[in-house]
Amino acid sequence: MREYTGVTVSEGLVMGPVRRIDRGVSGLGRLIHDRSKERALFDAAVVLAKDELRGLMEQADGDERDMLRFQLVMLDDQALLTEISNYIAAGAGSAAATERAGQIFARRIRDLPDEYLRQRGADVLDVCSRVVEILDGKPRQKLELEQPAILAAESILPSDIISIDRGMVLGIATSKGSAQSHAAIVARTMGIPAVIELGEEFLKHCDGHEAVLDALEGRLILDPDETLQQQVRRQREEMAREKARLAGLRGTPCITRDGVPVSLLANCSEPGGIEQAVAEGAEGVGLLRTEFFLMKGSIPDEEEQYYFYSSCLAAAQGRLVTVRTFDVGADKLVEGMMLPEKNPALGLRGLRFCLERRDLFQDQLCALLRAAAKGPMDVMFPMVGGVMDFRMAMEEVEKAKANLRMRGLPFDENLKFGCMIEVPSAALCAAELAAAGAAFFSIGTNDLIQYTHAVDRMDARLDMYYKADSLAIQRMIAMTARAAREAGIPVCVCGRAAADPKIAPLYVKLGVSSLSMASQSLMDIKEVLLNTDLSEVPSLA
């Protein structure tokens, strides 16, 4: 047996044969035609690549469709197309030009400070590889597996996963990779165990061998002996029983041992994710992210947004959906819409950006007001700094309502608007925000921790200062919850800490009435809360 240690990006435990994906070296023996013909060949390949992507989108859902849509947008990206055109004009063949431009473009993206955009480097390489294979006479074919297998490669591209029958992929093992890559995100969404950073030596020996992929401990064992195989079978049986047991909690009301009810909600980005969350037992959507429209470089009009929000409400099947208005800025940049800032974390973020770009804000508010007539919906503003911000946002809401009345379009006159509490100033004036008309609070702990402790949450060196249960954060949450209770409005936590079994009970004890998290964590947190007596939870606040 040979064991290789890596990093888990999607938990699970599987056993089976390994199938290595080896893309090899493309383009050997290419003929280079004159520049006009090379450009014509490239244009034709782009058309075929778009057709392939649209075909894959019909099979995909959730984050997968989101990723494919981004790749489709990249094929119209003027910066990338100009880069390729320049290489063709300089005498390079269309395939070589696409390869080179794609690598350079992906490298630029990976060097950006924005983590979201860095993740898109793999998508650029993926879509450029698709075009190159078409130019080389090797249109992208669906990878066929004769039997379920663990996929192995230097790195897995998102479309590698999406194009394969899901039941045939036991797990994913790579010699390199990133926990934040879109392939990792797709693996987690699909529930496929995955381990990355196993090293180059692993790839030399893995193809065709039996293996245990232990994505609980972050390791892969080639050629497991019978003793290990029996251990894995027993552990998988125990895991299956545990999963079935937790599934039995879905219909159980979430009430602590001492009788405090807690609503468990899901963080989602699109209708497919909402459907999954409902199946996992979510009582509603505590955070619907909307900025993905802008992150792809497209500017959605009111109608496009209206249909999207309506689809999200339909997917929720009558459950409340809480929508966050566009939350961009800092590490979520919108190309072509935002000017460089010396300190973007303290710049035009969230609501500040919306108030700067009121044309976009008005389209979104009109779409939300119209969609809200179709089902239960709340709307919240991110990065509210104080009462003035909230009042300015509500003035825009009134303008949107007047616009819809003038156009004779139906909308929800009573749609509720709330505040995200993400900066200390908002927590400190929570009572005043409630008095100004905020219908609810949603505490975004990811940013609240960052701003309270003056810590860049993207800098791993500062992890010791990034504490979700510090005395300061406890006081901020308690202060916000007290203001909500006195005003008779609900308060939710939608940050990452809501899914931490050690911290979630503390937040509930501090007065939080609901927790919103990734749907996979819902039943784990429910079990913790069902077995918790809040009087026994220690707190410093």
Residue closest to 323 by CA, chosen among 346, 306, 301: 306
Assess contact for 410 and 371: CB atoms under 8 A. no
Alpha helix positions (H), 111-142: 115-119, 121-135
Q: Is residue 312 annotated as part of the catalytic site, yes or no?
A: no
Token pair belonging to 288: 């619907």
Largest CA distance in the chain: 78
Alpha helix positions (H), 332-386: 351-356, 358-371
Q: Is residue 184 exposed (0-12), middle (13-18) or buried (19+ Cβ within 10 Å)? A: buried
Pairing verdict, β 441-443 and 491-493: parallel
Token pair belonging to 101: 């431009």
Residue 117 half-sphere exposure, CB side, CA atoms within 13 Å?
23
Q: Is the dihedral of CA 453, 459, 465, 468 positive or negative?
A: positive
Give residues with Cβ within 8 angstroms of 40, minimum separation 6.
Answer: none
CB atoms within 10 A of CB 536: 10
Rounded-to-integer distance, Cα 331 and Cα 491, Å: 26
Rounded-to-integer distance, Cα 481 and Cα 438, Å: 13
| DSSP code string of 51-75 | HHHHHHHHH--HHHHHHHHHHHHHT
Catalytic residue among 128, 182, 206, 268: 182
Catalytic residue among 128, 268, 419, 494: 494
Please report, as a single letter, which amino acid is at residue 464.
M
User: What is the chain's Cα-based Rg?
Assistant: 25
Rounded-to-integer distance, Cα 8 and Cα 194, Å: 6
Residue with tokens 């552990």: 235
Token pair belonging to 47: 């058309």
Please report, as a single letter, which amino acid is at residue 259.
G
Q: Is residue 182 annotated as part of the catalytic site, yes or no?
A: yes
Rounded-to-integer distance, Cα 507 and Cα 176, Å: 37
Rounded-to-integer distance, Cα 333 and Cα 347, Å: 11
Strand arrangement, sheet containing 13-20: 2-5, 219-222, 210-214, 13-20, 149-153, 169-174, 194-196, 7-10
Active-site positions read 182, 494
